Amino acid sequence: MCLAVPGKIVSILDDEEATLRRGSVDFGGIRKEVSLAFTPEAAVGDYVLVHVGFALNVVDEAEAHKIFETLREMEELAELEEPSP
């Protein structure tokens, strides 16, 4: 299963070459540098869905929070399904 995770852009490192555009994205306290080549419209403060280091599209804050909540619920379900030793 492939999963794109939402994160908030905290800074953009512009490059003259559009395909090299990248930014620092915050994933709930963990910051990673990701490619913004596929999201030229993305700006600081925007939420983007990131998969394997590439921001694939911009989402609004409410949608990002819904995704965060779904991921938390999935994690909680996985914990419930783990067998006890």
pTM comes to 0.79
Residues 39, 48 contacting (CB under 8 angstroms): yes
Rounded to whole angstroms, how far apart are CA atoms 35 and 6? 14
The domains of the chain are located at 5-81
- What is the CATH architecture of 5-81? Roll (2.30)
DSSP, res 16:
S
Q: Where are the alpha helices (DSSP H) in 1-85?
A: 61-81
**Measured between alpha carbons, how far is residue 70 from residues 3, 21, 32, 39 in Å?**
12, 30, 21, 24
Digitized pLDDT (tens) for each residue of the chain, 85 residues in all: 567 889 999 999 877 676 789 999 999 899 999 999 999 999 999 999 999 999 999 999 999 889 888 888 887 666 666 565 5
